[in-house]
Structure formats: C-alpha cells, structure tokens
Amino acid sequence: MKKHILIVCPYPENEVPGQRLKYEQYFECFRRNGYKISVSPFIEPRFFKILYLPGHYTPKIVGVLWGYAKRCLQIVRLPFYDGIYVSLYVTPFGTSFFERLFRLFSKRMIYDIDDLVYEGRASKYNYMVAPLRWSGKYFYLMKAADQVFISTPYLESVVRRYTSKIAYIPVTVNTERYFPVQQYSNDTRLVLGWSGSHSTAPYLRLLETVLRSLREQYDFRLLVIGAPDFRIEGLDGEAIPWNEATEVEDLQRIDIGLYPLPDEEWVLGKGGGKALQYMACGIPTVATAIGANFRVIEDGVSGFLVKSDEEWKARLGELMSDPDLRRRIGQQGRARVVKYNSVFANEPVYLRIFDEVF
C-alpha cells in the first residue's frame, strides 16, 4: 500500500520558483516509488492571481480567511496521512499555533526552508502584513521536524542552532527540459538576459550603469523575463511576463545570463536558481560573488563570479567579444548542472530521505 504524504505549502503548484525548482520536480519520482502525494497550498490559484497586484484588499482578505479555514479542516485528517512535508510554513501570520497543531497530529514531518523567511519580509503591494509575520514559527518547525531540508550554506548555519537533522538538497533543474540551443555566434545581435519576478526585479537595477556603459561599446538587447513593466532608459530591451508554457523557449533566446544580487543578508538564503536555469540551457552566466553562488559556479570555468561594476563590465565585455569563450563557459556550466544540480543527480538523495522519514 502506498504511503500517503501531504504537501503543506504556501502557493499553488507550478507558480513560484521556490517550489518548482525544489520539491515539485520530484513528485513523479515519489509516485513511481510507492508514495501518494497530495498538495495543499494555503493560497488558492484564484487568490494567487491577485496576490502581487496593488489593491484588491477585500478578495485578499477573503483568500487569507479561506486559507485559515482550510487549515482548520485539515487538522482532523492529519492522522490519516503517513506524514507531512511542510514548505516554509503552515500559515503565514501569527504565532506557531497552527504549526504546533499540525506537528501534534502528524505521524512524521519533513520541513523545507527556503530564503530567510523568518525575517518576515512582505512585497511592496502587501507591506501592511509584515508586522503580522512571526519568526518563532519557523524556528519551531526547525526544532520539531524529523528532517529539515536546506539549500544554502548560510541556512545550514542557522538551522544547525535548532537541530542536527539537516539534509542539503540544492536547488535543482530538470536538464531534460532545460537544454542548450545556442550557436555561440556573433553573426546576430546578442541578447543579455535576466529571469525573475516583480519582487527581484530591483536587483537587475544594480546593473543600470554597467549596461548603459557597455551599450556604448557593444550592440546588444536586454531581455527581461518575469517583470513585464521593467525598463532601463537608453537600452533597447524587451520585458515579458513569465509563462510556464514558454519558459524554456524564452530562456533559450538569451546569449549571456545575468544574476546580480545585492550585498545583504537576505540573499544568503537564495539557492542560485536563476543561474542554474541559465547554465542548464548552456548560457554563459555572470553572477554576483555571494552566498550559494560559490557552490553553483566555479569562477572562470563554468561561469563568472564578480564583485564590482568594473568586473561586471570586464566579464560581460569578454563574453560578448569572444564566441568561443561563451561556448566553453556555456558547455562547462551545463555539465556542472547535470553533475550536481540536476533532478537526475538528486532523485536518489531525496528518495532515500523520504524512505528514512516516512
């Protein structure tokens, strides 16, 4: 008889990178190996469509109340599951009350923490809810779980204060879906590209001066995926919404991938998902030298890690000038992802821990 596992998560399936590039990619693996998987997001699909839009306060309040009602109804059903897999939290606001109830009524629990969620940040469109977030619930889940999944060295150092039951599962990419098509040629106009969301788009602003300066020497276009309102004055660019159906095709239009990050504690919780997506597609990638990027990229071999505007300009200039360099870096980046950050490479680790816990 198959073990039945309940996935308790914030967002609907196939909507956010923090879920898609982590556990969601392994559902079929779990199902092939004796598990029945049920997914219970706090935020329903209809609510998610307006979550990051300004206003819409009444439907947002209704969506939150429905999320709490659903969690209340689930409590009595928890003993009938063989275990639960909690991503980030059970409920987004208040104390650890619901997290404690879910742990009390569950047989076994895996906790998956991503980003520094315990800092209680909120988007600019929902900033008023930030005071309602309580960091204690995240630390409780770390202590109460039978196993905690982390994806960055910094998160490991934080979680280790509360438990030794830690497993490093990196952000991963399905390398059968993400694959190279680049010709690494300068015969056509080059495309510098970035993929993200409205919440991370300010990070791309860090390169405004760099990109304007490069535009004086090189002919290129800027492609922005996931932030359709993004513009940099003076640059020829295209900004498009993220679309699951065309995501890989959109990424494959990029000749050089950009992954700028600010020098702040928050980014130490990020697992380098953007860089990994570029690299899986054979796109030579330039990233800020910080946090998990040191694990994702071997500087000068599978990509470039940079610290200053001068280094950004130098590395990007070298890549735009030299197609052979782009080919070498792109191919090495792809090989590194296949070896360390592919679904194929990490399925056995994920499955072994599932078997041990559940």
Mean pLDDT, rounded, for 111-139: 72
Q: Look up the CATH number of the domain holding residue 79.
A: 3.40.50.2000
Place of tokens 């409205």: 198
Residues 355 and 2 sit within 8 Å (Cβ to Cβ): no
* C-alpha 5, offset from chain centre: 23
Do 201 and 331 lie in one domain? The reply is yes
Output the pLDDT for position 119.
Answer: 72
Residue 167 placed within a domain: yes
- Statement to judge: residues 95 and 200 lie in one domain: no
**Closest alpha carbon to 114 in 136, 86, 72:** 86
Q: Is the dihedral of CA 126, 128, 132, 133 positive or negative?
A: positive
The band of 28, judged by pLDDT with boundaries at 50, 70 and 90, is very high
Lowest mean pLDDT among 222-231, 263-272, 332-341: 263-272
**Are residues 209 and 151 both part of a single domain?**
no
Place of tokens 């079929």: 28
| pLDDT value for 121 | 58
Are residues 151 and 23 part of one domain? yes
| 177 within some domain | no
155 and 232 both lie in a single domain: no
Q: Are residues 70 and 116 in the same domain?
A: yes
Q: Residue 171, class by beta-carbon neighbours within 10 Å (0-12 exposed, 13-18 middle, 19+ buried)?
A: buried
Q: Is residue 215 part of a domain?
A: yes
Mean pLDDT of the chain, nearest integer: 92
- What is the identity of the amino acid at 331? Q
Please report, as a single letter, which amino acid is at residue 49: K
Q: Which residue has the tokens 């080059």?
A: 190
Is 348 found in the same domain as 336? no
6-20, 106-120, 185-199: least confident range:
106-120
In the sheet with 256-259, reading across from the earlier edge strand, the strands are: 237-240, 220-225, 190-195, 256-259, 285-288, 304-306
Predicted pLDDT of residue 344: 93
Phi–psi pair at 256, nearest 5 degrees: -140, 125
Provide the number of structural domains found in the chain: 2
pLDDT at 129: 61
Average pLDDT for residues 258-286, to the nearest whole number? 93
DSSP secondary structure of 247-295? HHHHHTT-SEEEE---SSGGGGG---HHHHHHHHTT--EEEES-TTHHH
Query: Residue 48: exposed, middle, or buried by beta-carbon count in 10 A (0-12, 13-18, 19+)?
Result: middle
Q: Does residue 194 sit in the same domain as residue 297?
A: yes
Span 324-340, mean pLDDT?
97
More confident residue, 286 or 120: 286
- pLDDT, position 55: 84
Pairing of strands 147-150, 285-288: unpaired
Taking 90 as the threshold, does the pLDDT of residue 56 lie above it? no
pLDDT band at 175 (very low <50, low <70, confident <90, very high): very high
Q: Are residues 133 and 86 in the same domain?
A: yes
> Over 80: is that where the pLDDT of 164 sits?
yes
3-state class percentages of the chain: helix first, strand second, coil last, to nearest 5: 45, 15, 35
Which residues span the domain enclosing 62?
Answer: 3-172+343-357
Lowest mean pLDDT among 267-271, 315-319, 326-330: 267-271
Q: Is residue 182 domain-resident?
A: no
pLDDT (tens digit per residue) in 70-124: 999 999 999 999 999 999 999 999 999 999 999 999 999 999 998 777 775 545 5
Domain-located, residue 178: no
Q: Is the confidence at residue 34, as pLDDT, over 60? A: yes
Q: Which residue has the higher pLDDT, 269 or 286?
A: 286
Residue 126, pLDDT above cutoff 70:
no
**Pair (222, 325) in one structural domain:** yes
- Give percent of the chain above pLDDT 70: 96
Beta-bridged to residue 86, according to DSSP, are 8, 111
Please report whether residue 271 resides in a domain: yes
Q: Could you list the beta-strand ranges (E) of the chain.
A: 3-9, 35-41, 83-87, 109-112, 147-150, 166-168, 190-195, 220-225, 237-240, 256-259, 285-288, 304-306
Say whether both 314 and 350 belong to one domain.
no
Specify burial of residue 353 (Cβ count, 10 A radius: 0-12, 13-18, 19+).
middle
Residue 40 maps to a domain: yes
Per-residue confidence (pLDDT) for residue 130, from 0 to 100 = 60
Q: How far is CA 208 from CA 56, 174, 293, 304, 305, in A?
A: 32, 31, 21, 19, 18
- What does pTM read for this prediction? 0.87
pLDDT per position as a tens digit, 297-325 = 999 999 999 999 999 999 999 999 999 99
The reply to whether 208 and 319 lie within a common domain is yes
User: Does residue 296 lie within any of the structural domains?
Assistant: yes
